[in-house]
Amino acid sequence: MSSSDPPAGEDFADLFQTAPCGYVSTLPDGSIVTINRTLAQWLGRVPEELVGRPLYDILSLGGRIAFETHLAPLLRMQGHVHEIAIDLLHSSGDRIPMIGNAAEKRDQDGTHRFTRLTLLKAVDRRTYERSLLERRVAAEEEAATVREGILLRDQFIAVLGHDLRNPLAAITAGTGMLRREKALSDTGQTIVGEIGKSLDRAWGLIDDLLDLARGSLGGGFIVQRAADEPLAPVLEHVVSEIRAIAPDREIESPIAFDEAVYCDCGRIAQLASNLLANAVTHGAVDRPIVFEASTPGDRFQLEVANGGEPIPEAALTQLFQPFFRGQARPSLQGLGLGLYISSEIAKAHGGTLEVRSDKAETRFTFTMPRLPVD
């Protein structure tokens, strides 16, 4: 028995006719020479009525043009095409999605004799692919809408933040004049003092908003780096400010360096102040806050640690996103921009801001190159 003989019980002619896939062969001019019973049956026909007719008669219009513009050229050039999606026409006129391979049968001398196609029904598969395409289009549209929304929001924030400064400046000036009024009662002085504190807070919020808007509107954070202003006293001032706001909290502040740091001192102070204020807000009241600044090697490093409940795993990844707010008393809540702005400041200095949080402590570590890197 030669290898081309069918094994016992199998019959090649029957296999061709009733295999669970469709076979069709055409002449180079596109007319059908053979078509198996399976495919004919799928099309609601018998093979005899299709032989001699153009292949186009069983292709959908889209299929015909795809065949002419893509398949036929590819078949001529490479002899075969795999995994093509093509719609065939049922005798009722319905389209049947199929997937298949095609190959040219050529002579020894390369003359094109037949084009053979093997086809499988792909109704579910095509439905699935279509839904994927639709989802992709929908996702693209959604993403565009979201982008537009974010841009509008940022523009709104920028305008709002900017325009609020004028009335606020007037109130600040007015409060300053009131404070110097000799006739002001003690109660009046207290009230003016409280107004002043609220004003400081309002200014802080507006500065944060403007930082956010500048950062996301493409302007970037304005950072003016220099190495001529000593950083250590600036940090000491930040600590003393926070001590004044929270006199009952213990803050350990080893600031152990006097080297110059190539940075924007105002921005680093802003970062330090944000981290420290966070530690006051979220840290356990009975545990000391550690504020540590040093210059290991050629880097500048600032660490702020506090005790208390660790930050939940889920929150850790979002911490540096704008408008993220943790669990804090509403009166203490800001806009949720502090850590976002701090991490932007870190980036603008070529540095990083990272957080570790467990039962022992929550520790933010900011590190940056101490000197300019080219």
The residues with which 22 forms a beta bridge, in sequence order, are: 119
CB 341 within 8 A of CB 320: no
Nearer to other proteins, 29 or 48 (CB): 29
Other Cβ atoms less than 10 A from the Cβ of 246: the count is: 17
Query: Residue 138: CB partners within 8 Å, gap ≥ 6?
Result: none
CA dist 362 → 47, 107, 310 (Å): 77, 77, 6
CB 44 within 8 A of CB 32: no
Measure CA of the first residue to CA of the last residue in the chain; give whole Å: 79
Nearest residue (CB) to other proteins, 81 versus 209: 81
DSSP state of 56: G
Instruction: Write down the least CB distance from residue 136 to other proteins, Å.
Output: 11
Q: How far is the CB of 77 from other proteins (least distance, A)?
A: 5
- Amino acid at site 273: S
* Residues 173-232 contacting other proteins, CB under 8 A: none
Q: Considering the complex, state which of residue 29 and residue 186 has its C-beta at the smaller distance from other proteins.
A: 29
Q: Which is nearer to other proteins, 132 or 170 (CB)?
A: 132
Contacting other proteins within 26-85 (CB under 8 A):
28-30, 56, 60-66, 68-74, 76-79, 81-85
In whole angstroms, the minimum distance from the beta carbon of 30 to other proteins comes to 7
Minimum Å gap between C-beta 112 and other proteins is 8
Find the shortest distance in angstroms from Cβ 140 to other proteins.
11
* Interface segment toward other proteins; rule CB under 8 A; list 123-131, 300-308, 326-334, 337-345: 123-131
Please say which residue, 93 or 247, places its beta carbon nearer to other proteins.
Answer: 93
The smaller minimum CB distance to other proteins, of residues 41 and 78, is found at 78
Supply 263's token pair.
């940075």
Those residues whose C-beta lies under 8 Å from the C-beta of residue 31, and which sit 6 or more positions away, are: 52, 53, 54, 55
214's tokens: 């500048």
Decide whether 63 or 283 has the Cβ nearer to other proteins.
63
- ∠ CA 108-111-114, nearest 5°, is 100
In the bound complex, what is the minimum distance in angstroms from residue 217's beta carbon to other proteins? Answer: 25
> In the complex, what is the shortest distance from the CB of residue 96 to other proteins, in angstroms, rounded to a whole number?
13
Question: At its nearest, how many Å lie between other proteins and the CB of residue 66?
Answer: 6
Q: Which of 120, 129, 165, 225 binds other proteins (CB under 8 A)?
A: 129
Distance CA 168, CA 350 (A): 34
CA distance 319 to 51: 70
- Closer to other proteins at the Cβ: 56 or 366? 56
> How many residues in the shown chain lie near other proteins by CB under 8 A?
33
Given a contact cutoff of 8 angstroms between Cβ atoms, the answer to whether 303 and 365 are in contact is yes
Stretch that binds other proteins, among 24-32, 286-294, 348-356, 357-365 (CB under 8 A): 24-32
**Cβ distance to other proteins smaller for residue 134 or 142:** 134
Two tokens, residue 299:
């880097």
Residue type (1 letter), 265 = C
Compute the distance between CA of residue 154 and CA of residue 326 in angstroms, rounded to an integer: 22
The answer to the question of residue 106 lying near other proteins (CB under 8 A) is no
Q: Which of 45, 126, 165, 179 binds other proteins (CB under 8 A)?
A: 126
Site for other proteins (CB under 8 A): which residue of 133, 150, 284, 332? 133
- Shortest distance (Å) from residue 4 CB to other proteins: 25
Give the helix, strand, coil percentages of the chain, each rounded to 5.
Answer: 50, 20, 30
Q: Is 78 or 352 the residue whose CB approaches other proteins more closely?
A: 78
CA dihedral 160, 165, 168, 172 (to 10 degrees): 160
Three-state DSSP at 320 gives coil
Q: What is the smallest separation between the CB atom of 149 and other proteins, expressed in angstroms? A: 23
State the residues that interact with other proteins by CB under 8 A: 28-30, 56, 60-66, 68-74, 76-79, 81-87, 126, 129-130, 133
